[in-house]
Amino acid sequence: MLRSRSRLGQQWNSMQHYRFPVVFTSLIIILLIYTFSVSKDEQEPTSLNHKGISLQSLVELNPTVEFRNGTNVISQLPYSPKAVLFLAHGCNGKAANFWDKSPGCPNCVGLPEERLIVLHALARKFAVLAVSSVGRCWTLGDEKVIVKGIIGWWVEKNNLGKVPLVALGASAGGYFVSALANDVKFSSIVVMIAEGVFERMDVPKNYPPTLFVHMPKDRRRMRLIGENMEALRQKGVDVAEVKCMEFPLTPYLLSDRIPGIDDAISFELVELLHKEGFVDENGFMRKDGRATRWKEALKERINVSLDKNKLDHIQEELNLAFAYHEMTSLQNEEIFNWFESHMK
């Protein structure tokens, strides 16, 4: 009895001994899990956040504006560029959408997604060149010849003939880039929210590696992209896709991504969109920003002073959250990794 008691005591003692490390280890594990989940929570807003603020500490938007062959050519060189990125906007777009308004570019618009693409590009040492289409949209005839000429002139002028040339086009700009890639030697391209115009051209074997960045909510386009990817693959062209999904509006989405929109305005606008039923119970946009009469609703109800020049910027973010058809910089990592992994 005694013996077993003392043995029990011993066991108890040794359990006490074990207990401390066990409790300690569990505490550490709990702490680790907690830290991870917290830092994960914190990561998401920052990856969405910043209006490029973290990037702006590395680079400043400070473009050169030129006029050539009847159109605007806007560009910026980072220190020691390792590649050149040609950007093609969509219908109704223009080169000036890619840079913030500044003394050097008083007509610049700085749409949130466009400027974040440029900031990201410059931070990764890509020289950036954007050209405005002459009409509302790009045309696939003479305009290709003109733009090819502008790219060649600009590359030579800046002594960048030895670094790789890549291109990104969104929507109609995606059609344009897909066609231009037949005439201009790009090391790789990104075709955003567009299927390209491959059925209208003879795709050569050495056509550049092509990344499709698209929004599957546009099901028809997704199907066409799937068909084109298959056709390109059969020609031996390197292809890949990145799918961009809808996401819920968070109170500070607009202030996080649009310069000149502060937290109070963002909070109030998002709250209003909820109240007016433009957003469902989970925070998702019910319709595309373009199809929603949110501007009218805002005019009547808004209690914050809102810069009218920011309406397009807000609409772009609402479209992005709806994820049907919009320029997106949320996939910058994938996009620039694609460019960088196809430089030779």
Ligand X SMILES: *[C@@H]1O[C@H](CO)[C@@H](O)[C@H](O)[C@H]1NC(C)=O
3-class state of residue 64 by DSSP:
strand
Of 103, 303, 308, 344, the residue at the interface with ligand X (CB under 6 A) is 303
Whose Cβ is closer to ligand X: residue 149's or residue 204's? 149
The DSSP H or E segment spanning 15 is: helix 2-48
Is 146 a residue that touches ligand X (CB under 6 A)? yes
Beta bridge partners of 86: 129, 167
Q: Which one-letter amino acid corresponds to residue 152?
A: G
Tell me how far, at minimum, the Cβ of 149 lies from ligand X, in Å. Answer: 4
Is 152 a residue that touches ligand X (CB under 6 A)? no
Question: CB–CB of 81/160 below 8 Å?
Answer: yes
Is 149 a residue that touches ligand X (CB under 6 A)? yes
Is 306 a residue that touches ligand X (CB under 6 A)? no
Q: Near ligand X by CB under 6 A, which window of 128-136, 144-152, 215-223, 256-264?
A: 144-152
Question: CB–CB of 215/325 below 8 Å?
Answer: yes
Tell me how far, at minimum, the Cβ of 271 lies from ligand X, in Å. Answer: 9
Is 145 a residue that touches ligand X (CB under 6 A)? yes
Tell me how far, at minimum, the Cβ of 147 lies from ligand X, in Å. Answer: 9
Burial of residue 11, with CB atoms counted within 10 A of its CB: 0-12 exposed, 13-18 middle, 19 or more buried: exposed
Whose Cβ is closer to ligand X: residue 62's or residue 182's? 182
Whose Cβ is closer to ligand X: residue 219's or residue 275's? 275
Distance separating alpha carbons of residues 144 and 339, to the nearest angstrom: 22
What is the bridge-based pairing of β-strands 126-131 and 71-76? antiparallel
Tell me how many residues contact ligand X (CB under 6 A): 6
The DSSP H or E segment spanning 190 is: strand 188-192
Tell me how far, at minimum, the Cβ of 108 lies from ligand X, in Å. Answer: 23
Tell me how far, at minimum, the Cβ of 68 lies from ligand X, in Å. Answer: 6
Q: Near ligand X by CB under 6 A, which window of 145-153, 175-183, 235-243, 327-335?
A: 145-153
DSSP 141: S
In the chain the first and final C-alpha atoms are separated, in Å, by 81
Tell me how far, at minimum, the Cβ of 273 lies from ligand X, in Å. Answer: 15
Distance separating alpha carbons of residues 321 and 332, to the nearest angstrom: 16
Residue 312 exposure: Cα atoms within 13 Å on the Cβ side: 11
Mask for 55-74, x = binds ligand X (CB under 6 A): -------------xx-----
Which residues of the chain form contacts with ligand X (CB under 6 A)?
68-69, 145-146, 149, 303
